[in-house]
Amino acid sequence: MEQLMRDFFLFLSKNKTLTKLAKKYGLRFGASRFVAGETIEQAVEVIKQLNKKGLAVTVDYLGEFVDNEKEANEMANHCIEAIQAIGREKLNSQLSLKMTSMGLDISDDLVMRNMRRILEMAKEHGVFVTIDMEDYSRCQKTLDIFKQLKKEYDNVGTVLQAYLYRTEADIEDLKDYRPNLRLVKGAYKESPEVAFPDKKDVDDNFKKIIKMHLLNGNYTAVATHDDAIIEYTKQLVKEYNIPNDQFEFQMLYGIRPERQEQLVREGYTMRVYVPYGTDWYGYFMRRLAERPANVAFVLKGVLRK
């Protein structure tokens, strides 16, 4: 049943008609629990509140289905606007982005031009930029571009997904770049030819890549809401005397906020992934796909209206 529900919401997340409707009707039906508003001004207010609680942030302007140069350039402009707001307001925030929004599927020249524009502005304001990982078909291209950009900029990192068979080899391949990596389980629907179908295997691989990357001496962002993975990381850093400034935990805005604050109290860096923008629909559906509890929360919100 849970898998059925997950597949259903993942299917909905790719529906272009529903995406258009969502843009038109705004952040209703509980999405505002997971999305910090539609404008950078609204996002800034949320980030300020999180920073007050000792939480670091990475902010993401949501955008999917970008299929022309004009839209890709506009998306890059939104990222630049966010970087300027972070600098102006002196926020404890990084930036996350998807390269499909920057023109990855349109042309190499376009995506590189937009990425360099963003990273130049980010360098000027001391903002770190993480390139989100998308589905498997774009994984190699994303890593190739990351390697090229890492040669030019220090303030860029990317994401690796524990559910892919290839990830262990990718950690090994990237280690000489001294990369700052966000490690995640992975949220896209992938074939068993490229990804572990069983949760236990994904969890085991997650632990393996966390250990590999930390012991390579590289900065590690462990992005999880899973207490077992959090506890594993705490024990690992203790066992190998890894300092707290070599890793952090990351969670999504609106999910387990009490746990986020608890990790801050325990002395860990805890970064919240804060999305905003009008194109929030696909992101919201993927959050519902991940946890049935999220669906229950949203239904309660809808029934109250």
For residues 48 and 88, the answer to whether their CB atoms sit within 8 Å is no
In this structure, what token pair is assigned to residue 259?
A: 């746990």
Which residues are the active-site residues?
132, 182
Tens digits of pLDDT across the chain (305 residues): 556 655 655 665 566 665 565 555 555 556 778 899 989 999 999 999 999 999 999 999 997 668 899 999 999 999 999 999 999 999 999 999 999 999 999 999 999 999 999 999 999 999 999 999 999 999 999 999 999 999 999 999 999 999 999 999 999 999 999 999 999 998 778 889 999 999 999 999 999 999 999 999 999 999 999 999 999 999 999 999 999 999 999 999 988 999 999 999 999 999 999 999 887 777 777 777 766 665 555 555 444 43
Q: Is 250 annotated as a binding residue?
A: no
In this structure, what token pair is assigned to residue 200?
A: 């236990």
For residues 66 and 75, the answer to whether their CB atoms sit within 8 Å is yes
User: Taking the complete model, does pTM exceed 0.85, yes or no?
Assistant: yes
Q: Is 225 annotated as a binding residue?
A: yes
Tell me which architecture the domain covering 36-276 has in CATH: Alpha-Beta Barrel (3.20)
210 vs 233: CA distance, rounded Å: 8
Q: Is 20 annotated as a binding residue?
A: no
Q: Is 301 annotated as a binding residue?
A: no
89 vs 193: CA distance, rounded Å: 46
Q: Is 224 annotated as a binding residue?
A: yes
Of 291, 217, 205, residue with least CA distance to 254: 291
Q: Is 265 annotated as a binding residue?
A: no
Going from N- to C-terminal start, the domains of the chain cover: 36-276
289 vs 300: CA distance, rounded Å: 17
pLDDT in the model for residue 279: 77
Q: Is 208 annotated as a binding residue?
A: no
